A and B are shown apart, each in its own frame.
Chain A
Amino acid sequence: MVEIKLVNLTKRFGNVVAVDHLNLTVKHGELLVLLGPSGCGKTTTLRLIAGLESPDEGEIYFDNTLVNDMSPKDRNVAMVFQDYALYPHMTAYDNIAFPLRNRGYSESNIRRKVLEVAEMLNIKELLNRKPRQLSGGQKQRVALARAIVREPNVFLLDEPLSNLDAKLKTQMRVELRKLQKRLGVTTVYVTHDQAEAMSIGDRIAVMKNGKLLQVGTPEEVYENPKNMFVASFIGSPSMNFIKCIVKLRNGFYVLDCGDFKINISYERGREVDVLEGEEVILGIRPEDITILPERSSNAISASIELIEPLRPDMLIHLRIGNIKIVARSLSTLLWKPDDHVSISFNLRKLHIFRKNGEKIM
């Protein structure tokens, strides 16, 4: 178990900067998720940690040891690939034994260790099969077994669940989480699936265009996103964004969104006072919008465009004048499309961003 420290890590492919001055620490025994859209540099970061790519700038430390020039073998990292990358000409047993054989373990020792991890992952009956005789979930387990068997310093998981079907995916992510906690190995987990990241990570690092945007616990990145990108990337459906202008009215700050206005409390108003008269972007998550049971004159009035009954939740697509937003509601079907309703926003959960996407409050 080691602590991984990335300092100013940079990797370029031709003119493309895949990883841009990345600074990040993965603590002892922690499961850190690298989250971002495809092409954001998360897999490249993983490959840099593994030693499959060498950085153009910056340093990688494992417990204060610089590993930049160390081969993957000497770093003692284990990696699970998105496509599992099992050796097709070897049985599951030989696949799992492969890293041990390369390190010169005795056959009896190898046998003991392979059976031990096979037991742990419930794949004992599959050991004599070739990869082509295994299902996706079974291959996944064999790949995990191969990673676990040699007790690595670091686990690197590159979208390990993305080729599994939805049901198996949720099942495996719970199992993966338990396994990681049990083994206590420092783990870096790459995914583009925010739900997976939220469910599995101790902390989440959100990346875009090779840059690190925010690191924090799932709660932190969800409740307090640093910018619009993080706010929109995390959470499904996405946060609603509404353009509005900061105005001062009767000594209080008001967000004027055109079709409706929102009052901001006095304390929070002080955070936006420098922006008086400027355009800002209001962000509100679907679950922070409440549809009121009765029409009310001082609430915002909206019309329902579409209802997605996902069960138990419902997603309600609303229209306020020209503004379209989505609300999430737990209640049973009270409304129909084209109904006119009153809605209110949870004022404590408002996010306000500058026009450049940076969070103000």
Chain B
Amino acid sequence: MPPKILRYLEGFFIYFILLVGAWIMIFPFLWMVSTSFKNQYEAFSFPPSLIPQKPILENYVQALTIVPFGRWFLNSFIVASVTTFLVVVISSLAGYIFARKEFRWKEPLFYMFLMTLMIPGMVTIIPNFILIRALGLMDTYLGLIFPYTSWNLAMSIYILRGFFSAIPRSIEDSARIDGCSELGIFLKIMLPLAKPGIATIAIFSFLYGWDEFTWALTATSSSNMRTLAVGLALFHGKYLTLWTLLSAGMVIATIPPVIVFILFQKYFIPNLMAGAVKG
């Protein structure tokens, strides 16, 4: 076969596979958006239609009014934001120390953090429940924020240690000679250079705090303290699931993570370090 046709075929296959993959990812999402604008009958009609015949907003109105949607949304937002803040502060400091400073038991300590990643989450539900209850934090924001933060720390420290390690030491030495304090080096030099890593862990921990279901269900009991993930599940009844309302709620619930992602994605420039050193 002539090389031109071969190259053409190669391009065709690459795009074909990517398109199939993209469709598999996007389809449930489109289906959810579509369902949120349908009435109960159309949602179950056969053959199903992707574009609603008579789009209605009724589902959104109902989803927002028959349950304390606003309150759940706020709860989720507070929990996810504070978790993100704590994870970023703690893991950037810890990641820097693990990357740059020498101290006794450094490596064993680091691997202890990593080992926590290997414990399945379900196993820790009961010990966590006992711990949080003993601390008197059941059904409070902190009862969600503390565990979420701790579950996100290991991975975040691991990611940031990698980012900090990749920053040339000479930049740090240079700042030291230029009269920068140790804290100044961290805040003015290292932190800005680790932005892509911080954006990554911020997105991960925000999504975690926003989406987490099992622990939120365990640790909250009053309707006022529910998060959106738990609250939305109420539409999913034992005998009847209100798919249209559930879809409408989920569409709204998807908005904040999308915003967070858009805000941080500009830092995903892979070559932020380009031009730092060498010619």
User: Contact at B168–A102, with CB atoms within 8 Å?
Assistant: no
B273 touches A88 (CB 8 A): yes
Say which size band chain A's interface belongs to.
35 or more
Within 144-180 of B, Cβ neighbours of A (below 8 Å) are at: 168, 170-171, 173-180
B55 within 8 A of A: no
Q: In the complex, what's the smallest C-beta–C-beta distance from A355 to chain B, in angstroms?
A: 42
Q: How far apart are the CA atoms of A136 and B38 in the complex, in Å? A: 61
Contact of B175 with A87 in the complex, beta carbons under 8 Å: yes
| A73-B176, A87-B189 known; A135 vs B279 contact (CB < 8 Å) | yes
Chain B residues with Cβ under 8 A from A88's Cβ? 171, 193, 272-276
Is the CB–CB distance between A89 and B192 below 8 Å? yes
* B136 on the A face (CB < 8 A): no
In angstroms, Cα B170 to Cα A85, docked, is: 6
In chain A, positions 119-151 with a C-beta closer than 8 Å to chain B are 130-137, 139-140, 146
Chain B residue numbers with a CB within 8 Å of A98 are: 175, 178, 180
A50 an interface residue at 8 Å Cβ cutoff? yes
> Do B275 and A131 touch (CB < 8 A)?
yes
Alpha-carbon distance A140/B277, docked complex (angstroms): 10
What is the total of A-B residue contacts with beta carbons within 8 Å?
88
Please measure, in the bound complex, the distance between the C-alpha atom of A137 and the C-alpha atom of B279, giving whole angstroms.
Answer: 8
What A residues does B180 contact at CB under 8 A? 73, 98, 102
CB pair B179 A163 closer than 8 Å = no
Within 8 Å CB of B179, what residues of A? 72-73, 99, 102-103
Chain B count of residues within 8 A CB distance of the other chain: 24
> Cβ of A140: which chain B residues have Cβ within 8 Å of it?
279
Q: Flag whether A77 is at the interface (Cβ < 8 A).
A: yes
User: B279, A130: Cβ atoms under 8 Å?
Assistant: no
**Minimum distance in angstroms from A323 CB to a CB of chain B:** 42
Whether A83 touches B173, Cβ cut-off 8 Å, given contacts A99-B179, A102-B184, is no
**Is A318 in the interface zone, CB < 8 Å from B?**
no
Max chain A Cβ within 10 angstroms of own Cβ: one of B173, B176, B179, B184: B179
Chain A positions within 8 Å of B, measured between CB atoms, are 47, 50-52, 71-73, 77-79, 81-89, 98-99, 102-103, 130-137, 139-140, 146, 163-164
Q: A72-B176, A72-B177, A131-B276 are in contact. List 18 more A-B contacts (CB 8 A).
A: A50-B177, A52-B173, A73-B176, A78-B177, A81-B174, A83-B168, A83-B277, A83-B278, A85-B277, A86-B275, A88-B171, A98-B180, A102-B178, A130-B275, A132-B276, A135-B279, A139-B279, A164-B279
Measured CB to CB, the residues of B under 8 A from A are 168, 170-171, 173-180, 184, 189, 192-193, 271-279
Listed from nearest, the 8 A-B pairs whose CB atoms lie closest are A132-B275, A136-B279, A83-B277, A88-B276, A102-B179, A85-B170, A99-B178, A85-B174
